[in-house]
Chains A and B, each alone.
Chain A
C-alpha cells in the first residue's frame, strides 16, 4: 500500500469517525487502513450514507404490500399503478447546503432526487417540495426563501419536470436551519425496473455525464453535523448544479435503458464515486475496481480522496457488458456527453482503487455498506413534553371576534395562499397536470389510461414536537386524507425524517416515538413506506428544529373524470361536514397565532375512522356523488370553508350545534374531517354511504350566491365577506416574502 501516513491517534476525527468506530474498522480490516481507505469508511459510515443512528428504528416501518415492486434500499421505491405501469418515487433532504447557499443547495437537491428516479429506469414526470423556514419577517429568512424557491424552479423548470405541489411552513425553530425536502416521481413499465447492481465479473464500470471537480467534497459528512455561525466557510461543501447537463444526462440515460444496453446503474449523489461504487458492488455481492487515472476531471491536480469524495453533480455510474460499450458511447456522443470506462466488475468482493497498476485502496465492499455500526441511542423524555400539555387555551376560546380571527389566520404566513411559491415553478409542462398546485393534492393523468395519480406532502411539526407519536401518525393520516380528498386511493408513501442531533437523548426520544406513530398509521391506512431519507443534525447554534417527519403520499384514481377539487361549484349545493368536531384547540394554528406559543394537547386521532373517511371519499368520487371535497387541517372548519369559497367567489351558510366551544368548532383542528358539497339530488345516496362508512356527519348548510360566509353556532355567529378574506389570503405571502 502506498499513501499510508504514520498512524495518527486522531486520524479518525478527520473523517468524522469515533474512536470506537475506528477500532471496529481495524478489527474488520485486520490491518491499519491508509488515509484513503479511512476516508472511504468516513463517508460510507456517516449517518447520511450509512443510516447508523436510524436503521434500528426504520425497521419498524411497514415496507411491503401487493402494490410494492421495490421497497427501501434502492435508488427509489417502486409501486404498481395498474395497466402494466409503475411509479418510482422518493423524497430526500438538502437542508444544510440550502442553509449555506440557498439557490444551489435547493437546486442540487432537486437534481439529486431526479437522478435517483431515472436511475430506476423511470421518466420523471412530477416533483413536490416540502419547505420549512424561520420567521418570514426576518430578512435572512426572506433571502433563504427567495433563494430556495428560485433554485427549485431554476432546476426543475429547465429539466421540463413540473413541480406540481408541496408544502411550506414558517416557524422560529427553523430560523438557522431551513428544511428543503424534494420529492420526484417517475413512470415506467412495471417489467422494466433497473437496479443499482454491479453484477457480472468482467463487465465494465462506466462513468457518464459531467466531469469531476472539487465541488461538494465531503458533503455527506457535512450533512451529518450541526450548523453554526462559522458555516459560511462551508460554501465549498455545497455542490453547484447544471440542470442543462442533467437534462442531457437524463435523455441519454433513458435512451440507453430503452435500448437495453445496461446491466445496472446508479446516480452519484452523496459521497460521489465512493458510495455509488461501493453500494453497487455491495448489493450485487461482487467487487469492482476503478482506475482514478481514467476519471475525466474538470481541473488537474485532484488528490485521490478528492476524486473519490467529490460530489460534482450530473454524473451516473453504469455497469455494462463489454460488447455494448460502443453502443453506449454512440448514444452519449449524440448528446455531447462523456462516457468513459473507468474500471471493471470483479468477483473478489473488494472495492479497489488504482492508478494504472498501483493500488491506492482496497476494502471489502460489504464492510463499507453492510458493516456500518447500528446504534440504539439512549432516549429521555424532554421536560417540555410534560409541561406543554397543560396550556391556557383561553386566548382563542374567549376571543369573540371570530371574523377578525379568521381574517388574521388566512393572512398568516402558514395559511395564506402559496401562489407566490408555485407560480415560480413550471407546474404544467408535460401536459399531465390535471389538478394544479393549491388543492389538497396534485393530480396527474397517466398515459394510455383513464387513471390519475395523486401526490401530496405534509407534516405538522408542531404536533410532532408536542406529541411525537401522535404527530407522526397524524402526518401520515393527513397526507393520505389529502390524496383521498381528490378521489384517489392512498397507495404508498416516502418520507424524509428531519430531526436534530440523535446523540441527544431527547432528540432521539422524538425520533423513536415519531417513527412509532408513522409505522402505526402507515399500517392502519395500508400505505407502505417504499423508501426515503433521514436527515439528522438539523440544529443551529445548539437549537434543534421541530421534529419534522415529512410524508410524501401517492394515490390512484381509476378515472380522472371523477376527480374532486375543493372549490364549491354552484349556489344551492348542500354542504356536509363529515367527521366529529371536538373541544380540541390545543396545538392549533389559532392558539399559536394569538399567543406565539406551541402548546396544548395535540388533537386525537382514530386511525380506523381515518381509514373509513378515506374510503368514503374514494367511493363517493367514484360514484360521482360530490361536487367538491376539502379536508380540514390547520385553521380548522372556518379556514377550510373560506378556501372552498375563493375560486368562484361563492358564499356559504352553515349552522351547527356541536356541544363544544365556538372557538373549537371554528378553529379547532380535530382530525379526520372533510367538507363536502353536493347537489341536493345526491343527498340520499351520500347520506347512505356515510352511514355505511360509519362516519359521523351533519348536513349543515348550503352554498350561497352572495359571497358571504356565515357559520352559526347557537347564539354565536361568524360572518365575513368572502372577497375581503380572499384578498387577505391571496396576497399575504407575496407581501411577506418581499425584501
Chain B
C-alpha cells in the first residue's frame, strides 16, 4: 500500500519543511503540505502537526490554531483511526483541540530551552514506537518555552496506568527523577498517546535527529515505526 502523509502548515509553523525533509530522508516518501485554511482534505494515513509558533503563539500556544478550518478535518481523521503526530507546537495544538488531555505550561525556569534531552521509551507497542525497545533511552532535542506537561492527578494516574505515557524525560542511565525534566513536566511526561493509540503528542523533536550529519539518529525509529504500522507490520 502506498502511504499518504501530510504536514499541516499554520501561519507561524516553522518545522513543516523539516518534517517533510526528515520523513523523506528516513522513509524515502514524500509528504504533502496542507494549508490551514483547507476545509476538506483526503484521508491521509499520517498527518503531522509540526512545531513552530502558530499564530505567533499569541494568547496561548495552540489556542488560536485549534480554530483553523483544517482542524475539524484532523479531528475527523483522528476519529477514523488515522495516525496524527503532534510535535512541540503541534502537541500544544492537539491538547487545545481536545484530541489529547492536559496542557503545556511555561518551562519551570521561565526560559526558552533548546538542547538534547534523554527520553525513556515507556511504551514500545504503539504505532509510533514499535521500532524502539521498551525502556530504551534515546537522545532527542527539545526546543520550546512552554513544554511543562500538566494534568489533574487522577487523570495522570489513569494515563500512566493505561500505558499512554509514551516518552519520559530521564537521566542517561534511564532513571527518572524530577530534575531530568528541564521544563518541569509532571511525572517527567514528554509524550502521550490518545486512548485509541493513534494520536501522539510529544514536545521533543524526533525530526531533528534523524540523520547522522545532524549529530544523531535516535529520531529515525519514530518514522520507521509509523511506516511499518501503516504497512500492516506487526
Whether B234 is near chain A, meaning CB under 8 Å from some CB there, is no
Indicate whether B143 reaches chain A with its CB closer than 8 angstroms.
yes
Point out the residues of chain A lying under 8 angstroms from B11, CB to CB.
244, 247-248, 335-336
With both chains docked as a complex, state the minimum distance between the C-beta of A442 and any C-beta of chain B, in angstroms.
13
| Chain B residues positioned under 8 Å from A248 (CB to CB) | 11-12
| Contact yes or no, A153 B208, CB < 8 A | no
A180 to B57 Cα, complex, angstroms: 25
Q: Say which one of B94-102, B111-119, B170-178, B184-192 lies at the interface with A.
A: B111-119
Expressed in whole angstroms, the Cα–Cα distance for A424 and B107 within the complex equals: 12
A157 engages B53 (CB within 8 Å): yes
Q: Please give me the residue from chain A that is nearest to B54 by CB atom.
A: A244
The answer to whether B112 and A428 touch across the interface, beta carbons within 8 angstroms, is no
- Closest Cβ of chain A to B204, distance in Å, is 11
Closest to A420 in B: B111
CA distance A438 to B14 in the complex (A): 24
CA distance A506 to B196 in the complex (A): 73
Q: Which of B55, B56, B111, B214 contacts A431 (CB 8 A)?
A: B214
Which residues from B are CB-within-8-Å of A243?
53, 56
Q: Which residues of chain B are within 8 angstroms of A150 by Cβ–Cβ distance? A: 111-112
Range, interface on chain A: 20 to 34
Q: Any chain A CB within 8 A of the CB of B201?
A: no
Complex-state Cα separation, A638 to B38, whole angstroms: 60
A445, CB-defined interface residue at 8 Å: yes
Inter-subunit contact A244/B55 (CB<8 Å):
yes
- Decide if B92 is an interface residue (CB 8 Å cutoff): no
Instruction: Indicate if the CB atoms of B18 and A431 lie closer than 8 Å.
Output: yes
Q: Is A433 an interface residue (CB 8 A)?
A: yes
CA distance A160 to B56 in the complex (A): 11
* Whole-angstrom distance between the Cβ of A445 and the nearest chain B Cβ: 6
Find chain B residues with CB under 8 A from A433 CB: 214
Q: Are A429 and B18 in contact (CB under 8 A)?
A: yes
| Chain A residues within 8 Å of B207, by CB | 431
Question: Among residues 38 to 95 in chain B, which have CB atoms less than 8 Å away from a CB atom of chain A?
Answer: 51-53, 55-58
Residues of B within 8 Å of A158, CB to CB, are: 12, 14, 53, 56-57
- 8 Å CB interface, B3-44 against A: 11-12, 14-15, 17-18, 21-22
- Beta-carbon contacts of A329-352 to B below 8 Å, as 1s and 0s? 000000110000000000000000
Q: Are A425 and B114 in contact (CB under 8 A)?
A: yes
Q: What is the CA–CA distance of A433 and B115 in the complex, to the nearest angstrom?
A: 13
Known: A244-B58, A424-B114. A445 touches B213 (CB 8 A): yes
Assess whether B233 is interfacial by the CB under 8 Å rule: no
Interface residue ranges of B172-218 to A (CB < 8 Å) = 205, 207-208, 211, 213-215
Q: Which listed residue, A154, A247, A423, touches B113 by the CB 8 Å rule?
A: A423
Interchain CB contact under 8 A, B55 and A429:
no
- Is the CB of A611 closer than 8 A to any CB of chain B? no
B147 close to A (CB within 8 Å): no
Q: Which residues of B contact A242 (CB under 8 A)?
A: 56
B54 to A: closest C-beta gap in Å: 9
Shortest distance from the beta carbon of B36 to any chain A beta carbon, whole Å: 11
Where chain B touches its partner, the secondary structure class is mixed
A115-B67 Cα distance, complex, nearest whole Å: 30
Which of A153, A154, A244, A422 contacts B12 (CB under 8 A)? A244
Known: A428-B208, A429-B143. A153 touches B112 (CB 8 A): yes
Flag if A434 contacts B213 (CB, 8 Å). Answer: yes
Number of interface residues, chain B, beta carbon within 8 A = 30
Chain A residues near B22 (CB, 8 Å)?
Answer: 431
Interface presence of B148 (CB below 8 A): no
Chain B nearest CB, measured from A431 CB (Å):
5
User: Cβ of A157 and Cβ of B112 under 8 Å apart?
Assistant: yes
> Is A429 touching B14 in the complex (CB atoms < 8 A)?
yes
A443 → B minimal CB distance (Å): 10
Task: Give the distance in Å from the alpha carbon of A160 to the alpha carbon of B89 in the complex.
Answer: 12
Interface hits, A244-278 → B, CB 8 Å: 244-245, 247-248
What's the minimum C-beta distance from B137 to chain A, rounded to whole angstroms?
19
Say whether A427 faces chain B, with CB atoms less than 8 Å apart.
yes
Give the docked Cα–Cα distance between A426 and B56 (Å). Answer: 15
Contacts of A159 in B (CB 8 A): 14
Q: Which residue of B lies closest to A161 (CB)?
A: B14
CA distance A86 to B133 in the complex (A): 44
Chain B residues within an 8 Å CB radius of A389? none
Given contacts A150-B111, A426-B114, A431-B214, A247 and B208 within 8 Å (CB-CB): no
Cα(A227)–Cα(B114), bound, Å = 34
Q: Interface centre among B17, B18, B21, B213, by most A CB within 10 Å? A: B213
Interface residue ranges of A425-483 to B (CB < 8 Å): 425-431, 433-434, 436, 445
A425 CA to B114 CA, complexed, in Å? 6
Query: Residue of B at shortest CB range from A162?
Result: B114
Q: Determine if A68 is an interface residue (Cβ-Cβ < 8 Å).
A: no
Q: In the docked arrangement, what's the CA distance between A508 and B143, Å?
A: 44
Complex Cα gap A245–B58 (Å): 11
Q: Inside 8 A of B143's CB, which chain A residues have their CB?
A: 157, 426, 428-429
Chain B residues, CB < 8 A from A423: 113-115
Q: Does A560 contact B (CB under 8 A)?
A: yes
Name the distance in Å between A36's Cβ and chain B's nearest Cβ. Answer: 35
User: 15 extra interchain contacts, Cβ-Cβ under 8 A, other than A247-B11, A431-B208?
Assistant: A153-B112, A157-B145, A158-B14, A158-B53, A159-B14, A243-B56, A244-B57, A247-B14, A423-B113, A423-B114, A423-B115, A426-B114, A428-B141, A429-B51, A445-B213
Query: Could you name 18 residue pairs across A and B whose Cβ atoms are closer than 8 Å?
Result: A157-B145, A158-B53, A243-B53, A244-B55, A244-B57, A244-B58, A247-B53, A248-B12, A336-B11, A423-B114, A426-B112, A429-B15, A429-B18, A430-B18, A431-B22, A431-B207, A431-B211, A445-B213
Q: Which 4 A/B pairs are nearest by Cβ-Cβ distance?
A: A160-B14, A244-B56, A158-B53, A426-B143
Q: A residues engaging B (CB < 8 A)?
A: 150, 153-154, 157-160, 242-245, 247-248, 335-336, 422-431, 433-434, 436, 445, 560
